[in-house]
Amino acid sequence: MLIDKHALKILIAASTDRHRYALNGLHVRDGYVEATNGDILARVPMPTIHPDEVPASWQPLAADPMRDVILAREGMVKVAKALPKRARLPILGTAAIGRHNEHAEAVTGLPGEQTRVHVEVVEGAYPNTGQGAPLWPQGEPAYRIAISGRLLGVLAHLADREQCVILTFRDALGPIEFQVGHDGDRPITGLVMPMRLPEPPRPHAALPDPEPEEAETLPSSSA
């Protein structure tokens, strides 16, 4: 399979709890990868790379779909570090991963400057996180509110690792109230202004057919 740095961002959601070993990695599903620590679940589709762009030396690994495999977090972190922050070509920001004996192997870079990374395969049953699983909310969403990632970073900075950020939504268009810390501990409070989601482009209304022009009648002349 092929995976890129964008998809590897979700490693931050993988568990580091050794007692929950089945969650200590990146789970490969059909068309996407996912990670969870039991409190947060993140998933992202696989990158789309044209087969002609894949180096021939990658082909055996790239052709392995790795479906329903859990790739150990530690090894995948090494794969992420092996990828350049800014790639000259899209394929250079991608790694090919496939089974190799009892583990998995990842390769990055073009021939002559390749890096190979050993990745352990985690044994265990991953939770049922498919789209139809009971954990997914059902019905129509009550609100969809967009918040800048920069503002979420500010909230994360305000909270210590052991603190929670409490968000209060009173309506769909108003500001979001936040509180960091408990009431008796000098909590930090404030507001986050939500961004409106862009409206999807509306189809152009069909123009009415033009009225048929009446034929001009010339005055008759007598010979």
Task: Give the per-residue SS3 of the chain.
Answer: CEEEHHHHHHHHHCCCCHHHHHHCEEEECCCEEEEECCCCEEEEECCCCCHHHCCHHHHHHHCCCCCCCEEEHHHHHHHHHHCCCCCCCHHHHEEEEEEECCEEEEEECCCCCCEEEEECEECCCCCCCCCCCCCCCCCCCCCCCECCHHHHHHHHHHCCCCCCEEEECCCCCCCEEEEECCCCCCCEEEEECCECCCCCCCCCCCCCCCCCCCCCCCCCCCC
pLDDT in tens, 63-107: 999 999 999 999 999 999 999 988 888 888 999 999 988 899 999
pLDDT score for 50: 87
| 65 and 116 within one domain | yes
Q: Is residue 185 part of a domain?
A: yes
Q: Please give the residue range of the domain that contains residue 171.
A: 149-192
* Least confident stretch, 17-26, 70-79, 121-130, 160-169: 160-169
Q: Among 58, 91, 71, 62, which Cα is nearest to 29's?
A: 71
Residue range 20-28: mean pLDDT, rounded = 94
d(CA 182, CA 165): 10
Residue range 207-218: mean pLDDT, rounded = 52
Q: How far is CA 204 from CA 4, 207, 211, in A?
A: 38, 9, 20
| 100 and 51 within one domain | yes
pLDDT score for 2: 95
Average pLDDT, the chain: 85
Amino acid at 149: G
d(CA 126, CA 25): 10
* Least confident stretch, 79-88, 138-147, 168-177, 202-211: 202-211
Strand order in the sheet with 165-168: 165-168, 176-180, 188-192
pLDDT score for 209: 53
pLDDT > 70? residue 176: yes
d(CA 80, CA 72): 13
pLDDT > 80? residue 196: no
pLDDT > 50? residue 15: yes
| 29 and 106 within one domain | yes
Number of domains in the chain: 2
Q: Is residue 15 part of a domain?
A: yes
* Least confident stretch, 41-45, 87-91, 148-152, 193-197: 193-197
Residue range 23-42: mean pLDDT, rounded = 93
| 113 and 163 within one domain | no
pLDDT score for 218: 47
Q: Is residue 132 part of a domain?
A: no
d(CA 26, CA 35): 5
d(CA 25, CA 190): 36
Q: Is residue 207 part of a domain?
A: no
Q: Is residue 138 part of a domain?
A: no
| 159 and 56 within one domain | no
| 73 and 21 within one domain | yes
Q: How far is CA 63 from CA 43, 51, 59, 75, 82, in A?
A: 21, 10, 6, 20, 21
Residue range 179-186: mean pLDDT, rounded = 81
pTM: 0.77
